[in-house]
Amino acid sequence: MMTDRVFNFSAGPAVLPVSVLEQAQRDLLGLPGVGISVLEMSHRSAPFEAIIESAEANLRRLLNIPSNYRVLFLQGGSRLQFSMIPMNLAADGQRTPNYILTGSWGKNALQEAVKQGDVHVAWDGKSHNYNCLPDAEDIDYSDNAAYVHFTSNETIQGVQFNSEPETNGIPLVCDASSDFLCRPLPVERYGMIYACAQKNAGPAGVTVVIIREDLLARGPDNLPGYLNYRSHNDNQSMWNTPPTFAIYILDLVTRWLLDDIGGLDHMLEINRRKSQMLYQVIDDCEGFYDGHADRESRSLMNVTFRLPSDELQKAFLEQAAERKLCELKGHRSVGGIRASIYNAMPVEGVESLAEHMRQFSTANR
């Protein structure tokens, strides 16, 4: 293994399992038995068909996806989903999209939906500075809702739902971009789940959409082909050339989750352990570290906190880098520190960060 790898706390594109990178490296001049790499082969070739089928099968196994849900591999990132969702699921103009806003990405999703027609904000965490989740009784759905959109993990604020909001039968649509595959999910409770891969599932370039079959019928025929989920569904995600290399890496990552980690129950256990290490330091050093998220809303994936001053924050980041702890600066919109500890972040990386946090607090209190 390369010795000069650092611990990469980037929010995405983010750390990948070393074994996946090594496999990709080995396969780059030629897939075993094929003689060319995935980068060079037709998406309609038998070896690539095997890869995309395997990626889907792995996702189905990991998440126990019921047979009436379709799995699509799309491009355009999660941002394109912000538009495709209202275009497909609320096109009849009779029903109103509902949005639960727990942070920046939910607001971005809303901004795109507004361009397609009327929307309803069912809950907005703005008055709490997006540091918490709604109480069930405070969510206010409109009559005749087309769907309810929420962001299971707000990557910037570090706020994560730990169960699904109750929607009383309204299709639930989830942006799971930054916590996809971090834990098991009751897929049957959702109308649709989508996630760009570049945080927990692979590289940038592919976005996974898991959609309940009956919702496909809602897309109007006059949508541009790419923007209609049916085009992709009817063509096994090959209506146009899919992002073949990204899907190949996603196949390797999902295989790693199944074979090396042992499934999403185990992954969740590890993720709980890793995030708890950092939240424990924040709690133990109260008054020095200021965690952004409410305790009940803390993310397993993005741990966000501030230091007492900009000078201390700068020194914290510099000293972290000396320990090979990198990409810890928070998003420019909220500042502070953000440690993204996705599935592939090794436990040792988190241990090392926790130790740095304790020592830095002791030295600078």
Nearest Cα residue to 253 out of 11, 46, 54, 37 = 54
Tell me the pairing of strands 145-151 and 325-326: unpaired
- To the nearest whole angstrom, how small is the minimum distance from the Cβ of residue 133 to ligand PMP? 15
Task: Select which of 107, 123, 179, 199 is catalytic.
Answer: 199
- To the nearest whole angstrom, how small is the minimum distance from the Cβ of residue 14 to ligand PMP? 10
- Minimum CB distance to ligand PMP smaller for 111 or for 362: 111
- Burial classification of residue 61, based on how many CB atoms lie within 10 Å of its CB (0-12 exposed, 13-18 middle, 19 or more buried): middle
- Minimum CB distance to ligand PMP smaller for 105 or for 360: 105
- Minimum CB distance to ligand PMP smaller for 84 or for 91: 84
Tell me the pairing of strands 302-306 and 337-340: antiparallel
Task: Select which of 175, 179, 251, 256 is catalytic.
Answer: 175
d(CA 230, CA 272): 37
- To the nearest whole angstrom, how small is the minimum distance from the Cβ of residue 333 to ligand PMP? 12
With H, G, I as helix, E, B as strand and everything else as coil, classify residue 6.
coil
d(CA 216, CA 212): 7
- Minimum CB distance to ligand PMP smaller for 77 or for 335: 77
**CA distances (Å), 169 to each of 140, 181, 250, in order?**
14, 24, 32
DSSP string, 93-131: SSSEEEEEE-SHHHHHHHHHHHTTS--EEEEEGGGGTT-
d(CA 356, CA 60): 39
- To the nearest whole angstrom, how small is the minimum distance from the Cβ of residue 299 to ligand PMP? 11
Give the length of the chain. Answer: 365
Tell how far CA 255 is from the center of its chain. 18
With H, G, I as helix, E, B as strand and everything else as coil, classify residue 264.
helix
- Minimum CB distance to ligand PMP smaller for 74 or for 353: 74
Which helix (H) or strand (E) is 51 found in, with range? Answer: helix 46-63
- To the nearest whole angstrom, how small is the minimum distance from the Cβ of residue 106 to ligand PMP? 8
**CA distances (Å), 17 to each of 79, 111, 261, 269, 303, in order?**
25, 34, 11, 17, 20
Whether 324 is a known active-site residue: answer no
- Minimum CB distance to ligand PMP smaller for 175 or for 327: 175
Residues lying near ligand PMP in the complex (CB under 6 A): 12, 77-79, 105, 151, 155, 175, 177-178, 196
Whether 274 is a known active-site residue: answer no
Six-digit token pair at 186? 């009751």
- Minimum CB distance to ligand PMP smaller for 195 or for 282: 195
Which helix (H) or strand (E) is 247 found in, with range? Answer: helix 244-256
- To the nearest whole angstrom, how small is the minimum distance from the Cβ of residue 29 to ligand PMP? 29
- To the nearest whole angstrom, how small is the minimum distance from the Cβ of residue 177 to ligand PMP? 4
Closest-by-Cβ residue to ligand PMP is 77
Whether 199 is a known active-site residue: answer yes
Strands (E), 247-346: 290-291, 302-306, 325-326, 337-340
Which positions are annotated as active-site residues?
105, 175, 199
